[in-house]
């Protein structure tokens, strides 16, 4: 590698500067501010010392809240992983129709939280949902403390198992096929190959994915907040939703940041305990391994029939998972053609009376177009707001991550390692921890409530992962072309734009797809940082509109379905255009979900 000249070092420092400014202002400072605020009064800013933490340990609701957070964290991981593993195993063995089936499987993952959860509200409505259509008379499942968590975790698994599917597909692809062939020759059955080859081959991906998903599930906000609001009677209140309640309902920011700080501590302790337990089990296994009987494969005959059956299994499994992913959406589609007005009238899975009137009513509704009404948000303009914010965030993220990732890969030395470690740390910080201090920072900068402020705040969610993604690519890419360009007198800027950037097109495409889809679906920051309904992005505005009493009282189930289908159709189109790049982003390490 060519020696780093002083002029090059200066150029790399300039490349890093915008990224560092964003990280310091919108990540590091808010995180420090959150911890400092936890020692202050939420209303006056008076220094309280440890009073908020003493209040935390004395809070009678904390025990149940922490327990709910672990239910959400662990319960979010286990069923999602098992479904994702089944889907990955099925898709990995497919030779035909893999692209289409993968698209169908991934659809729930790219639907924004308000839309997907609003769909499940319609699906499980005791009067107009599937149970009523099947003749079952049940109460509101979201108000039943005995079953609400089972319902929430089932819905979560439906919308998040695709995270594991994409990562495990990458892990399965890395396992040499020769190992399976050798095992088949030795007579190993499907289960033996799975236990002794597949599971060890994807163990590293499994540990990383489950760990990161637990972090995000433990601190996840949307599922509980949108479907139950923490109810019934606190039965689903988690640390994330409880802190949000304290901040924006009780206006007690000091105690809210105490809750987020303690949630980080509790989560870190839980992860350390699990890692220590895993290390203990690993050492125990190493000590016992010499005394365990050696694994031997029995010889088997007649494997041709099993091979033929194994070719059918993945196809059937992939189709089954695709049906699982698409069934709720197909119900909403069916409901959109249903003329049933709702209420006491019985409903059915297939419309009894087909109609297109629901589409005409919704698409001509003042809720979509009337910008002069203060009663409802102009949803069509909110849709345009989402386009503007998504485009702005994506451009800013790609530019800063390209510059920062390239500079980190070429600087080398202690500074590069320290900055990389810092970015890894910030990648693990949940969004809920940053929401309250970001609110304060944008307010101090005069950007609270503006789309530009939302673009800046949303961008920082992707900067750590994106920079690391580019850094890994540039660090492993050949440097001979850069050295040749440097000998011809090209500087770092010209090398980056004319030599390196063209080589990075696959990475740019992957990161663009990841940022586009996740920004389009972002809900928490859009809801918190923008209060004006005409300025909000579409997911937050649609959630606000559909949760109003007037909407529920005047909109039929068929019309509600049409409102949901509009963003679902947009998500499917976006996914169909970017699914290969999105899969590449996750396979390359984009694992914050």
CB 138 within 8 A of CB 127: no
- For the four alpha carbons of 73, 79, 85 and 87, in that order, the dihedral sign comes to negative
CB 482 within 8 A of CB 419: no
Which range, 4-18, 340-354, 518-532, has the best average confidence (pLDDT)?
Answer: 518-532
Going by pLDDT thresholds of 50, 70 and 90, the confidence category of residue 1 is very low
List helix spans (H) across 59-112: 62-92, 98-106
Q: What are phi and psi of 354, to 5 degrees?
A: -75, 140
Task: Give the integer Cα–Cα distance in Å for 360 and 203.
Answer: 51
pLDDT at residue 275 in the model: 84
Could you read off the pLDDT of 520-566 as tens digits, one per residue?
Answer: 999 999 999 998 888 889 998 888 888 887 787 788 888 889 999 99
Nearest to 35 by CA among 237, 267, 264: 264
Task: Spell out the residues 6+ positions from residue 79 whose beta carbon is closer than 8 angstroms to its own.
Answer: 153, 154, 156, 157, 161
The better pLDDT of the pair 167, 373 is held by 167
pLDDT at residue 289 in the model: 67
Task: Give the integer Cα–Cα distance in Å for 428 and 464.
Answer: 9
Q: What is the mean pLDDT of residues 332-356?
A: 80
354 DSSP assignment:
B
The per-residue pLDDT of the chain, averaged, comes to 85
Could you read off the pLDDT of 116-167 as tens digits, one per residue?
Answer: 998 999 889 888 788 888 878 888 899 999 999 999 999 999 999 988 998 8
pLDDT at residue 72 in the model: 94
Q: Which domains does the chain have, with CATH numbers?
A: 1-37+384-532 (1.10.3720.10), 76-199+326-376+548-593 (1.10.3720)
Cis peptide, bond prior to residue 232, ω within 30 of zero = yes
The better pLDDT of the pair 476, 535 is held by 535
Question: For the chain, how are helix, strand and coil distributed in percent, rounded to 5?
Answer: 75, 0, 25
Could you read off the pLDDT of 271-304 as tens digits, one per residue?
Answer: 888 888 888 888 887 777 666 565 555 555 444 4
Task: Spell out the residues 6+ positions from residue 140 whose beta carbon is closer than 8 angstroms to its own.
Answer: 126
Nearest to 192 by CA among 348, 297, 36, 111: 297
- For the four alpha carbons of 9, 11, 14 and 20, in that order, the dihedral sign comes to negative
Give Cα 196 to chain centroid, integer Å: 31
Nearest to 115 by CA among 574, 575, 587, 538: 538
Going by pLDDT thresholds of 50, 70 and 90, the confidence category of residue 37 is very high
CB 551 within 8 A of CB 545: yes
Going by pLDDT thresholds of 50, 70 and 90, the confidence category of residue 308 is very low
Could you read off the pLDDT of 492-515 as tens digits, one per residue?
Answer: 777 777 788 888 888 888 889 889
Q: What is the pTM of this model?
A: 0.87
Could you read off the pLDDT of 227-267 as tens digits, one per residue?
Answer: 999 989 899 999 999 999 999 888 899 999 999 999 999 98
Could you read off the pLDDT of 93-124 as tens digits, one per residue?
Answer: 877 778 888 889 989 988 999 999 989 998 89
pLDDT at 576 over 80: yes
Task: Give the integer Cα–Cα distance in Å for 261 and 31.
Answer: 9
pLDDT at residue 305 in the model: 46
Task: Give the integer Cα–Cα distance in Å for 85 and 588.
Answer: 18
The better pLDDT of the pair 579, 31 is held by 31
pLDDT at residue 309 in the model: 47
The better pLDDT of the pair 484, 179 is held by 179
Task: Give the integer Cα–Cα distance in Å for 507 and 553.
Answer: 48
Q: Which residues face 462 on adjacent strands? A: none
Going by pLDDT thresholds of 50, 70 and 90, the confidence category of residue 463 is very high
Q: Where in 389-508 does DSSP place strands (E)?
A: none
294 DSSP assignment:
P
CB 253 within 8 A of CB 37: yes
Strand, helix or coil for residue 150: helix
pLDDT at residue 376 in the model: 52
């Amino acid at each position: 590698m060519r020696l780093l000249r002083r002029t090059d070092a200066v150029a790399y420092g300039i490349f890093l500067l915008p990224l560092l400014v964003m990280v310091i202002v919108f990540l590091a400072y808010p995180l420090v501010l959150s911890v400092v605020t936890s020692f202050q009064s939420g209303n006056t800013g008076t220094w309280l010392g440890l009073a908020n933490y003493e209040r935390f340990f004395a809070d009678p609701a904390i025990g149940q809240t922490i327990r709910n957070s672990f239910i959400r964290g662990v319960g979010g991981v286990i069923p999602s992983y098992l479904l994702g593993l089944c889907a990955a195993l099925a898709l990995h063995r497919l030779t035909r129709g893999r692209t289409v089936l993968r698209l169908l499987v991934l659809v729930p993952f790219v639907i924004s939280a308000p839309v997907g959860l609003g769909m499940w509200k319609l699906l499980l409505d005791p009067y107009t949902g599937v149970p009523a259509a099947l003749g079952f008379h049940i109460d509101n499942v979201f108000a039943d403390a005995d079953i609400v968590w089972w319902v929430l975790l089932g819905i979560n698994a439906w919308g998040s198992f695709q995270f594991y599917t994409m990562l495990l597909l990458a892990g399965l692809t890395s396992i040499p096929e020769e190992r399976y062939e050798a095992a088949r020759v030795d007579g190993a059955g499907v289960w033996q190959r799975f236990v002794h080859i597949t599971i060890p081959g994807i163990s590293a991906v499994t540990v990383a994915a489950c760990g990161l998903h637990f972090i995000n599930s433990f601190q996840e906000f949307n599922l509980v907040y949108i479907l139950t609001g923490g109810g019934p009677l606190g039965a689903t209140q988690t640390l994330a939703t409880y802190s949000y309640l304290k901040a924006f309902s009780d206006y007690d920011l000091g105690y809210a940041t105490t809750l987020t700080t303690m949630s980080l501590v509790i989560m870190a302790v839980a992860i350390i305990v699990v890692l220590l337990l895993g290390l203990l089990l690993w050492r125990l296994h190493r000590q016992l391994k010499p005394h365990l009987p050696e694994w031997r494969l029995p010889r088997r005959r007649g494997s041709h029939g099993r091979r033929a059956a194994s070719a059918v299994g993945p196809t059937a499994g992939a189709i089954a998972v695709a049906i699982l992913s698409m069934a709720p959406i197909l119900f909403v589609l069916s409901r959109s053609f249903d003329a049933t007005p709702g209420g006491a009238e019985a409903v059915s899975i297939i419309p009894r009376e087909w109609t297109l009137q629901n589409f005409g009513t919704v698409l001509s509704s003042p809720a979509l177009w009337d910008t002069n009404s203060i009663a409802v948000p102009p949803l069509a303009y909110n849709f345009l707001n989402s386009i503007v914010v998504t485009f702005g965030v994506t451009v800013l993220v790609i530019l800063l991550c390209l510059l920062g990732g390239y500079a980190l890969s070429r600087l080398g030395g202690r500074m590069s390692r320290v900055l990389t470690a810092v970015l890894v740390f910030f990648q693990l910080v949940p969004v809920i921890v940053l929401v309250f201090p970001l609110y304060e920072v944008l307010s101090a900068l005069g950007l609270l409530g503006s789309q530009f402020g939302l673009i800046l705040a949303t961008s920082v969610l992707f900067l750590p992962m994106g920079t690391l993604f580019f850094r890994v690519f540039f660090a492993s890419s050949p440097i001979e072309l850069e050295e040749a360009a440097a000998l011809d007198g090209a500087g770092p800027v010209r090398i980056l734009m004319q030599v390196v950037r063209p080589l990075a097109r696959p990475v740019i495409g992957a990161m663009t797809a990841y940022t586009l889809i996740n920004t389009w679906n972002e809900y928490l920051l859009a809801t918190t940082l923008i209060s004006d309904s005409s300025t909000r992005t579409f997911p937050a505005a649609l959630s606000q509109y559909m949760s109003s009493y007037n909407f529920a009282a005047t909109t039929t189930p068929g019309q509600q379905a049409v409102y949901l289908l509009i963003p679902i159709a947009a998500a499917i189109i976006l996914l169909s255009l970017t699914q290969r790049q999105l899969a590449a982003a996750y396979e390359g390490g984009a694992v914050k979900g």
